Structure formats: structure tokens, C-alpha cells
Copies of this chain bind each other. A is one copy, B any other.
Amino acid sequence: MPSATSDTLPHPLDPLSTGEIESAIGIVKKAHGDVFFNVVSLHEPRKAEMTKWLEDTASAPRPQRIADIVVIAPGGKVYDGLVDLADGKITKWELLDGLQPIITMEELVAVEHICRKDPKVIEQCEINGIPKEDMHKVYCDPWTIGFDERHGSKIRLQQALMYYRPNVDDCQYQYPLDFCPIYDAEKETIVAIDIPKVRRPLSKAAPINYHPAGVESAGGYRNNIKPINITQPEGVSFTMSGREIEWQNWKFHIGFNYREGIVLNNITFNDKGTVRPIFYRLSLAEMVVPYGNPEHPHQRKHAFDLGEYGAGYMTNSLALGCDCKGSIHYLDAEFPTRAGSVRTIKNAICIHEEDSGILFKHTDFRDESMIVTRARKLVIQQIFTAANYEYSIQWIFHQDGTIQPEIKLTGILNTYAMGPDEDTQGWGTQVYPGVNAHNHQHLFCLRIDPNVDGPNNTVFMADTVPSDAPVGSPENYYGNAFYAKRTKLTTTGEAKTDYNGDTSRTWDICNTSRLHPYSKKPSSYKLVSREVPRLLPKEGSLVWKRAGFARHAVHVTKYDDDQLWPAGRHVPQTSGEPSLGLPEWIGNGQQSIDDTDVVLWHTFGVTHIPAPEDFPVMPVEPITLLLRPRNFFASNPVLDVPPSFCSTPSQVAANGKGVTEAADRMSRLAFGEEKANGSVNGIGNANGNGCCGADGVNGTNGTNGANGH
């Protein structure tokens, strides 16, 4: 039985352990006294050094363990630092000017308590119709202020989105309040309140709740869902060595950090004995959620959930049989607390296999000789909670070499108060009486650091288009000619490209020095992504300036160890002047990205015009894309997956003798003997006898019933 083991030494890409975090914190405190710790995280080994080590782990120098530190010292002074854990030395200590580091959970939860005690907030609550003795029923979702030109970025600020709960268990998002306090995280006080010109009173609507009491009062739970059991009595098909996983020819390292959450490194595929590199590093690197209501101060609602709060810091502790079913392996996460202790999030990552339907099938219509083979997928998942919203991030690996990042959106809409006779003017939807859910986008930026048969890759844009030759011309007489037009992206400027649904545009990450023996096309991985809305905030808008990565579906840059996060390293309260991250890295766009170590940044997502069906909690909405091998493998790489059933023409001619019959024996007929169309063959199948054979041959006789005539 495969088991999870781990070396004594951490893998150079393993997250910092509890001990390493503690020692880093100790070293910093010794040198700089009491400070607030925003970040104590692995400073990833430089790629050159790491690559050398991977090539020869035995004798190449093992990359040092270095902690990446961000602290806030008294007076709101922000420092970036590096601590060498082996030497116990601080190797970098830099005071930042006008930059605000990521917000910690502790900073967030503090706001609500301050708001409840603040006289001006209490006054506004009273204007909204909440008596001062009910302030314990007032809640707020604390967000970074984003950027507000009146306050700038020198003072560390949050905006408090205000709500009310008649009862502690009510869903607060159905009782939004119409004003917005601004909180100074250094002084721990409310420094201002944004109050709308037109006031909106607290909704008097009866609550709608998804908790048991709420459901019972609305008629109770449905009782007609029979259990589906998913079990792996012989164990799972993957093995773990520390944080390295091996499954169906795949091998990679599963990292995790405060910022991006799951990070996958050194992704290789064992191609008939040859271990071929595909990606050096994959992660969800940033996202932005711009809201579309122009009324002040809603323009500040455009959360960079990774850069401002952290997909790691906000990640859920997952539970067996709830978030996943089957046989699950979990990995925990360790983070610093603001005060300098260590917190553990148990089961931060879940890893499991799923049956994935048919992998391939073919039947020969002549004799119904056929093959059917079932597919399996591996899912690496985390789920994080960003105030109201939940994001499930799944990294799905398929046997055929495809990698499928999938994001599932659920949780609760961000909502704002709405007057009884108010018109949303199209900027939102009244999803419940007095509840205005504003239009918004979820734009995710995937950082793809390719290593397709080696570090030097080139990106092409591929568009399927008709031949230029007109109908009736000798080259295209019948007008049916079409092909894939491939455009090489040679500079970072050229590589700023948008989606084109009309041509089913894709992007090919190619190794141009490795041509396929048959197709003569370069070995490649193709980015196939179909949910790619444009950034709807206009050019020159606040969001456009701050979220440079979202201006195009694809950017490509030359690899740089320090370019991990496309909206910049420190995102809160950036003005977008200049735009940090991708725009500054790309600059005039002259840098060559032809046949070199490149990084592809892909922005995709959804535009969400809310509807009442999304309230009070939103059924999962999935977004997905594919990274597919094209001209990478010699042929279909899954021919060696054992089929459920296979019969050849010669076996069919021999009345099915010698067919491969490995149908799943656990499957049953839904209604057993009572099956409306019950038949001996049908029942037979339940016992695994005959499978496609028996039915297939019947089918044959049927299908070709008149062959003889």
C-alpha cells in the first residue's frame, strides 16, 4: 500500500515548517524587538540554483532555506526582510516608503469590534434605524480601502462594509447598511465615514436563511436523496514522498504559501521511461473583483484577494466527506500570527482521485468489435473564504497529459442597501427586498512558468481561420479550406494579446527546437481557455490602473526570479500610478521572449450579473481551462490504461472468445429485476457477465440485422 513518507530534510520548495517560522521570528525579534508579522514565508530558491540541484540532488549544493519577512514596526514602519535560517542571519532589511503589506486576518477581525464602539458609527446606525443598545447586532466585512485618493497610501486603512443581523444566526448580507466607516489599522480607530447623499433605511424584510432553523421554517429539507458511496478498498493510486506526489506518470511538488495558496513545481511526465519536464511552476498568482456600480465609494470595491488578503491566509480547513468524498490525503499549512506565534490550518489542501467517465471508446460499426476505457483524474484542492465569497481552487490532472485548473465560485454575494423605490439603474440586481447585489467580475491571473522539454520556450497565438483564397478559386474551389494561423509572439509588447472567440483563439507554449517526428510541429502545451471576458472598467479607470494584468488575456515575460505577482509584491493601497507588476516589468515591450525562459500570465474569469437564484448563498459556478499536450507525445499516451472492455474483429468472429472483460463489478441496475426493459443480458451485466460483449453482440445482430439479405 502506498504511504506518505518524508525526508528528514525539507525539500527546498517545502513551505517553512513551524520550527522554521518560529526561528525566523525569533531572529527578527532579537534584532528589531516587537513588531507585527505580516509575512514569514519561504523565499523560494532562485531558479538557476534550484535547477542545478534538481539535476543532481546528490552532489549539487542544496538551496538554502531562507525566510521572506514582512513586518510592521511601531509607527507603521513597514520592512521587507530576508532571514537565512541556516546561518541565523538577517541578510536583507529594507524600510518601505508608502507601501502597505498584505492584511492579516487579525487586522481584519479587529475592525468590527472598533466599529461597534465608535460614537460616529453608532450615530449612523441610529440614522439607519438601529438603536445603540443593538450595536452587538452590527457587523462589518473589513476590506482594504483599495485606493482612495483622499487618503493615499501612507496610512494603513481599511473600509468597513456594514451589515446588521436581527439574530446572531441570520445571514447579514440581507441587511446591508448604507454607510462606510474607514479604519486606521495603526491607530485602531475610525478616521472617517463615507455617507451617501441619499440614505437607505435598514431593510424590514423577513430574513431568508440557509441554516436548519431557516430551512425548517420554510418547509424543511428534502428527504429523497439516496446516498452515493465512493470507496477505494485497495487504497489510492498516488504516492507521496513528503510533498512530492506521483500519479499516472505525473510527478510534481505541492507547495503552499500565504499569497497564492497552492503552488505546483517541477511538473514532469514520465513518457515511456523518459521523464520530461513540462512546467517549472504553476500557480494562481493574483485576482481582482471589480464591482460595476459607479456611485461613490463603490469604486473601492475591487478586491485583489490574493495580493491584499492572501489565498493561503484565507484558506479553509477541509473535512473528509464534506469538501471531498472518497480516499483523501491532506496537507496542513503553517503561518505566522501577527503577534509572532505560529498557527496551523489543518487540512489546508486535499488530494484525491475521481473516476472521470470514459477516457476513450470506439466501436467498429461492421461487427461491433469495440474498446471502452475509463478515465481517472487527480484533484489537488484548496478552498478559501474572501469575506462573503468562497473560491474552490482545483488543480486537476488527467491521465492524457492535460492539466485543468478549475475554480468553483460559491459563498455569498457582496450586497448593498437599496431603498424601497430605488432603481438599480442596471448597475446591480435586487436579489431580495432591500438588497442590491452589484454587477462584478472575477478575473483570475494564472502564472504559467513553462518548461516544455526544457526552459527555453516560445509562445504562439493560434487562430483557426478560413483560407484567404476565394470560393471558386483553384486553391479553394469549394470554399471549405481552413487552417490554424499561428503568430509567434517575439517581444513582451507583441505578447499583450486578447481573446478571440470567433477564431477559437488559443496560445501554444512551444519548444521550437524539438519538432514532433510525425507532425513536424514543435512540442507544445496549448492553453485552451474559453471564459475570458474583457476587463469592463474602462482604460484609465482606477481598476484598469491598479490591475494591469487584467488588461489582456495573455501577457508573456522573460523569466525573472523576483516577478511572481502581476499586481506587484505589495498591493494594498497602490494607486496604479505607476501600474505595478506586469506593466512595469514589460515597460516599452521591447524585450525578446523568443526561445528563452518565459512566463505566460493568463487572465480569465466571469462577469457576474447577479440574480435572485444566487441569494442568500450561491450554488457553485465553475470556471475552467485546459493546458493540453499537442505534438508533445508521439501518440495517444493513455493506450496502456487497462480497458473496461475490449473485443477485436477476430474475437467477435470467434463468438467473443478471448475478449478483455474488466467491467466495474460494483455497478448495478437501478431497479434490479424490476427494470422496465429488464433482460437477461441487462441483469447479466449487473454481475459483470458479458458486459459490452453480450449486449454488443446482440446489438450487432440487431444493428446489422439485414446484413445477410
Interface string of A288-315 (1 = CB under 8 A from B): 0011111010110010000000000010
> For the complex, is A466 an interface residue (Cβ under 8 Å from B)?
yes
Q: Is the CB of A613 within 8 A of B637?
A: yes
Would you call A671 and B537 a contact (CB within 8 A)?
no
List residues of chain B with CB within 8 A of the CB of A706: 106, 337-339, 341
Contact A294 B664 (CB under 8 A): no
Most B C-beta atoms less than 10 A away, residue of A291, A325, A399, A431? A325
Q: Return chain B residues, CB-CB under 8 Å to A81.
A: none
Q: Which residues of B contact A387 (CB under 8 A)?
A: 365
Task: Judge if A634 is at the interface, Cβ distance under 8 Å.
Answer: yes
- Output the least CB separation between A223 and chain B (Å): 8
**How does the 8 Å CB contact mask read for A340-359 relative to B, with 1 for contact and 0 for none?**
01011111000111110111
Please measure, in the bound complex, the distance between the C-alpha atom of A301 and the C-alpha atom of B300, giving whole angstroms. 55
Task: Answer yes or no: A90 CB below 8 A from chain B CBs.
Answer: no
Contact status B668-A317, CB under 8 Å: no
Q: For A233, what are the chain B residues with a Cβ–Cβ distance below 8 Å?
A: 227, 229
Q: Is the CB of B322 within 8 A of A105?
A: no
Taking the nearest CB of chain B, how far is it from the CB of A351, in angstroms? Answer: 7
Task: Check if B640 sits within 8 Å of A222, measured CB to CB.
Answer: yes
Inter-chain CA distance A502–B532, complex, in Å, is 7
Which residues of the other chain, B, contact A2 by a CB distance below 8 angstroms?
Answer: 671
A670: nearest chain-B partner, CB-CB: B329
**Bound-complex Cα distance A645 to B322 (A):** 7
Flag if B232 contacts A226 (CB, 8 Å).
yes
**In the complex the two chains form, is B229's CB within 8 Å of A321's CB?**
no
Cβ contact within 8 Å between A636 and B619: yes
- The interface bits of chain A over 243-286 (1 if a CB of B lies within 8 angstroms of the residue's CB, else 0) are 00000100000000000000000000000100000000000000
Given the known A-B contacts A613-B637, A663-B319, are A504 and B606 also in contact in the complex, defined by CB atoms under 8 Å? yes
Residues B328 and A480 in contact, CB atoms below 8 Å apart: no
B220, B376, B704: the one contacting A228 at CB < 8 Å is: B376
Judge if A242 is at the interface, Cβ distance under 8 Å: yes
User: Shortest beta-carbon distance, A480 to chain B, in Å?
Assistant: 4
- Give the CA-CA distance A3 to B213 in the complex, in Å: 33
B640, A218: Cβ atoms under 8 Å? Answer: yes
Least CB separation from A402: chain B residue = B619
Q: A325-B666, A542-B479, A649-B169 are in contact. Are A432 and B518 (CB under 8 A)?
A: yes
Identify the interface centre among A332, A346, A475, A682: most chain B CB within 10 Å of its CB: A346
Other-chain residue from B365, B427, B498, B691 in contact with A385 (beta carbon distance below 8 A): B365
Residues of A667-684 contacting chain B, CB below 8 A: 667-671, 674-677, 679, 681-682
Report the Cα distance A341→B222, complex, angstroms: 47
Q: How far is the CA of A295 from the CA of B665 in the complex (A)?
A: 49
Contact B365–A108 (Cβ < 8 Å): yes
Q: What mask results when residues 93 to 108 of chain A are scored 1 for a CB within 8 Å of chain B, else 0?
A: 0000000000001101
Shortest beta-carbon distance from A348 to chain B in Å: 9
Q: Indicate whether A8 reaches chain B with its CB closer than 8 angstroms.
A: no
Q: Does A73 contact B (CB under 8 A)?
A: no
User: Is the beta-carbon distance between B466 and A671 smaller than 8 angstroms?
Assistant: no
Q: Which one of B168, B500, B634 contacts A650 once the chains associate, using CB atoms below 8 Å?
A: B168
Q: How far is the CB of A219 from chain B (nearest CB, A)?
A: 7
- Of the stretches A125-133, A191-199, A406-414, the one at the interface is A406-414
Residue in B248, B476, B632 whose beta carbon sits within 8 Å of that of A225 in the complex = B248
Chain A stretch 612-668: residues in CB contact (< 8 A) with chain B: 612-620, 628-646, 648-650, 653, 660, 663-668
How far apart are A655's CB and chain B's nearest CB, in angstroms? Answer: 15
Residues in B neighbouring A542, C-beta threshold 8 A = 478-480
In the assembled complex, the Cα of A375 lies from the Cα of B324 at a distance in Å of: 11
Flag if B674 contacts A222 (CB, 8 Å).
Answer: no
Partner pick for A620 among B357, B619, B649, B671, CB 8 A cutoff: B357
From known contacts A233-B227, A320-B669, A329-B669, infer whether A504 and B533 are also in contact, taking CB-CB under 8 Å: yes
Q: Is A536's CB under 8 angstroms from B630's CB?
A: no
Q: In this complex, what residue of B is CB-closest to A272?
A: B219
Query: Please, how many angstroms separate the alpha-carbon atoms of A214 and B371 in the complex?
Result: 13
Q: Establish whether residues B439 and A235, one from each chain, have CB atoms under 8 Å apart when the complex forms.
A: no
Within the complex, the shortest CB–CB distance from A602 to chain B, in Å, comes to 14
The residues of B that contact A615 with a CB separation of less than 8 Å are 635-636
Q: Does A433 contact B (CB under 8 A)?
A: yes
A361–B383 CB distance below 8 A:
yes
- Asked if B358 and A466 make an inter-chain contact with CB atoms under 8 angstroms apart, the answer reads no
Expressed in whole angstroms, the Cα–Cα distance for A208 and B479 within the complex equals: 34
The chain B residue sitting closest to A685, CB to CB, is B320
- B320, B361, B499, B668: the one within 8 Å of A327 (CB): B668
One of A176-184, A481-489, A556-564, A586-594 at the interface: A481-489
Bound state CA distance, A345 and B484, in angstroms?
A: 40
CB neighbours of A316 from chain B (8 A): 363, 699
Closest to A386 in B: B365
Given the known interface contacts A218-B640, A667-B326, the answer about A537 and B339 at a Cβ–Cβ threshold of 8 Å is no
Within 8 Å CB of A426, what residues of B? 483-484
Q: Is A534 an interface residue (CB 8 A)?
A: yes
Write the A460-500 contact mask toward B (1 if CB under 8 angstroms, else 0). Answer: 00101111011100011111111110000000000000111
Give the shortest distance, in Å, between A636 (CB) and chain B (any CB).
Answer: 6
Rounded to whole angstroms, the CA-CA distance of A644 and B5 in the bound complex is: 31
B362-A644 in contact (CB<8A): no
> Counting CB contacts under 8 A, is A692 at the interface?
yes
A-B contact pairs, 29 of them (CB 8 A): A106-B706, A106-B707, A109-B365, A211-B371, A219-B640, A225-B248, A228-B232, A317-B695, A317-B699, A319-B685, A320-B668, A320-B669, A321-B644, A321-B685, A323-B361, A326-B667, A343-B702, A344-B698, A346-B698, A352-B670, A357-B620, A360-B410, A363-B390, A400-B613, A439-B482, A502-B533, A530-B531, A613-B632, A615-B635
Q: Other than the known A361-B620, A426-B484, A439-B482, what 12 A-B pairs have Cβ atoms closer than 8 Å?
A: A109-B366, A222-B248, A227-B664, A229-B664, A236-B670, A299-B478, A328-B670, A343-B701, A343-B702, A346-B695, A612-B635, A613-B631
